[in-house]
Chains A and B, each alone.
Chain A
Amino acid sequence: MKKNNDNDKLELFLKSNYPKTPQAPRNELSNIILNISKKEESSFSIFKAVNNLVSLIQQNLVATGSVLATTLIVLLATQNYISQHNGQLVTISESEMTKLLQVEDGLAGRSIASDWLKSAEKI
């Protein structure tokens, strides 16, 4: 757009009375990369923990019903965690969710899930 005089005057007035942008911290890029790494590592750890749990179920090493309920809650929490933090690393398919939802004993694992989730969040 070709600016008219009014626009020029307004632009000048705003610019001359608007504070200068603060300079970036010297180590900004390093901080950004560090934050990205932390988030990716954290999300990955939770994902890995869920996978381990699924593996235990597959090997029949733990009581299936309650642990599947636990897994479902953890998966949901993981998905929520990841979508809040970066939204990129893990997606859980609808069919996986449906499969888990069809498992009996949906309530039995809630208390275990609650404890497990607290520890998972600390990973």
Chain B
Amino acid sequence: MNKETHFKDIYDEHNIKVRSMLYSITKSSDIDDLVQEVFIKIWNNLDKFRGESKISTWIYSITVRTAYDHFRKIKKDNKNTDEGLKQIGIPSNEKDIDNKALVRFGLDNLHKDQRVVVGLHYLEGFSLAEIAAIQEVSIGTVKSRLFYAKKKLLDLFSKHGVAL
């Protein structure tokens, strides 16, 4: 199979998942550009892929690294403070706020490592082992990131009257 055909097959099989992962991790309005970046990286590195991992793991690793690049570009302020809530228009003392805004704020204000794990695990349904393989970290690291992310989110939600 030539490179072009292989590439098209990869796109057909993985583009929906790549798009969904990027959106779950970043919720970026530049999602089309991010997807393009991922597939251009895949094209450029396809010859180097030696099959040491599953091709899906390799593709999703590129996807996650692209999300990290995006985080670096936008230099997001991750302060999880009431001041931050006010800045995006969420009153810190008001319980009846829009859950969508609360989720958005909660996720946006996680540390980027926690944000990635939450996106991959809760929104994309990857197992902890899969996330560890994609990010090339130990399962313990993934568990720890998820633990602190979950705590942070539950605290925030609880503070705004959402008991889970």
Contact = CB atoms under 8 A, between A and B. Distances in A.
Our verdict on whether A and B bind, yes or no, reads yes
B8 A29 contact: yes
A17 B31 CA distance: 19
B9 to A, nearest CB: 11
Interface string B126-159: 0110000000000000010000001001100100
Interface in B55-111: 99-100, 102-103, 107
Interface in A1-54: 1, 6-7, 9-11, 13-19, 21-22, 24-25, 28-29, 31-32, 35-36, 39
Interface in B2-49: 8, 11, 15-16, 19-20, 23-24, 27, 31-32, 35-36, 39-40, 43-45, 47
B40 A32 contact: yes
A33 to B, nearest CB: 8
A44 to B, nearest CB: 14
A13 B99 contact: yes
B24 A1 contact: no
Nearest to B101: A17
A10 B36 CA distance: 31
A21 B8 contact: no
Q: Is the interface of A mostly helix, strand, loop or mixed?
A: helix
Given A6-B154, A7-B150, A88-B45, 16 more contacts: A1-B143, A10-B154, A11-B122, A13-B157, A18-B123, A21-B23, A22-B31, A24-B35, A28-B35, A28-B36, A32-B11, A32-B40, A35-B36, A35-B40, A36-B43, A86-B40
Interface of B: 8, 11, 15-16, 19-20, 23-24, 27, 31-32, 35-36, 39-40, 43-45, 47, 99-100, 102-103, 107, 118, 122-123, 127-128, 143, 150, 153-154, 157, 162, 164
16 contacts: A1-B143, A13-B162, A14-B103, A14-B153, A17-B100, A18-B107, A19-B27, A19-B100, A21-B19, A21-B24, A22-B31, A24-B19, A28-B36, A32-B43, A36-B40, A88-B47
Contact of B36 (A6, A15, A18, A31): A31
Nearest to A31: B36
Q: Which 6 A-B pairs have CB atoms at the shortest separation, nearest pair first? A: A17-B103, A21-B23, A9-B164, A88-B44, A11-B122, A86-B44
Interface in A85-118: 86-88
Contacts of A88: 44-45, 47
Contacts of A36: 40, 43
A25 B32 contact: yes
A79 to B, nearest CB: 15
A24 B15 contact: yes
